[in-house]
A = this chain, B = another copy of it.
Amino acid sequence: LDTDLLQQTQVRLDNKTKPLGSLGRLEEFARKVVTISGNPTPDLSKKVIFTFAGDHGVVEEGVSAFPKEVTPQMVLNILRGGAGVNVLARHAGAEVRIVDVGVDFDFEDCPGLIHKKVARGTRNLAKGPAMTRDEALAALAVGIELADQCKQDGIGLVGTGEMGIGNTTPSSAIIAAIGGFSPEQVTHRGTGINDQTLQIKIAAIRKGLDLNRPDPADPLDLLTKVGGLEIAAIAGLVLGCAANRIPVVVDGFISTAGALIASELHPQARDYLFAAHESVEVGHRFMLDRIGCRPILDLDLRLGEGTGGALAMHLIEAGVKILLEMATFEQAGVSEKQE
């Protein structure tokens, strides 16, 4: 990233009618969007949140409180505009693009759905690899392709999101493998499972890691063996947005697992990321630290879909508007600091 542009942007912020640095992280957001985009006057009028949907074979172990059919049901809910991500995206002035990258359901006559199904869900990671390497690569390619489309569409800010019953299980498996944690340390209650289901979930992750022995130094191996199709697509979206110089707001736990895979594959991808919020899920903080992202919000969220990203978009855009719209001391005829 361009350090000259970074410094020029800070000078512009310092000339605004406010004490130096007094808008704190809003100024950080403005600097970051400028340097990512390479544009001194970034246009965030078009914003998109991608909600990638996929199913998980590991659900057959009994790791989730919700039945598997909720994945396609929620896809339809999102298409109709009734889900949390729809409400919050509308509020932020963002469009939701919902992508079937791996739902175990045949969607027909679903206007608006982006059909990119790689497989009808992953296989059960507790019994073998969740995906083939080709499937993982194909799902990564879905994200990259959609990022390229965003460049053509003039999208200024992209948010990640996901919908997939059971998808905190592969996310925790990825964290455990990369960080060298035991499954207990990084496995939490997801949609709100009870103690018994939590033990089943932990056991499934342990079986998956013991059986598949993913190589923590090989992010693609990790993604293939214990990941998910929507996690792969998010990783691809992050890589594609970085390549296209589009800033990406990473939502919560599962999205961060995807962003982590991306940043393990290409460490430079980290510079293009905003972490929307600190999730309630255990293990999220480890991923944020490893990516090097300080979360923007801390609102006890644990819904996913892209909801936290939608909220954070408003704050990132606020920083850019400060840069573009606030008067300078000279313009406003305001006296400067005299100390």
Contact residue among B65, B74, B86, B338 (Cβ-Cβ distance under 8 Å from A337): B65
Chain A contacts with B in 210-267, Cβ cutoff 8 A:
none
**Secondary structure call for the A interface:** loop
Chain A contacts with B in 1-46, Cβ cutoff 8 A:
16-26
Say how far A77's CB is from chain B's closest CB, in angstroms. 4
Question: Contact: B69 with A19, CB < 8 Å?
Answer: no
Say which one of A112-120, A125-133, A147-155, A310-318 lies at the interface with B.
A310-318
Q: Given A17-B84, A74-B17, verify A194-B339 contact (CB < 8 Å).
A: yes
In the complex, A315→B91 CA distance in Å? 10
Question: Contact: A322 with B84, CB < 8 Å?
Answer: yes
Say which one of A50-58, A96-104, A137-145, A326-334 lies at the interface with B.
A326-334
In the complex, A17→B80 CA distance in Å? 13
A289 in the interface (beta carbon within 8 A): no
Say which one of A176-184, A268-276, A293-301 lies at the interface with B.
A293-301
Closest to A197 in B: B339
> Across the interface, which residues of B come within 8 angstroms of A22, CB to CB?
191-192, 301-303
- What is the interface size of chain A, counting residues whose CB is below 8 A from a CB of the partner? 64
Q: Given A74-B17, A314-B91, verify A26-B66 contact (CB < 8 Å).
A: no
Contact residue among B20, B301, B321 (Cβ-Cβ distance under 8 Å from A192): B20
Question: Contact: B299 with A82, CB < 8 Å?
Answer: no
In the complex, A302→B311 CA distance in Å? 21
> Across the interface, which residues of B come within 8 angstroms of A322, CB to CB?
84, 87-88
A203 in the interface (beta carbon within 8 A): no
A110 in the interface (beta carbon within 8 A): no
In the complex, A25→B302 CA distance in Å? 11
> Across the interface, which residues of B come within 8 angstroms of A303, CB to CB?
18-19, 22-23
In the complex, A184→B18 CA distance in Å? 25
A67 in the interface (beta carbon within 8 A): yes
Question: Contact: A327 with B191, CB < 8 Å?
Answer: no
Question: Contact: A84 with B337, CB < 8 Å?
Answer: no
Closest to A77 in B: B332
Question: Contact: A69 with B335, CB < 8 Å?
Answer: yes
A193 in the interface (beta carbon within 8 A): yes
A280 in the interface (beta carbon within 8 A): yes
Question: Contact: B337 with A19, CB < 8 Å?
Answer: no
Question: Contact: A83 with B326, CB < 8 Å?
Answer: yes
In the complex, A87→B332 CA distance in Å? 14
| A interface residues, Cβ below 8 angstroms from B | 16-26, 65-67, 69-70, 73-74, 76-77, 80, 82-84, 86-88, 90-91, 190-194, 197, 280, 296-303, 307, 311, 314-315, 317-318, 321-322, 325-327, 331-339
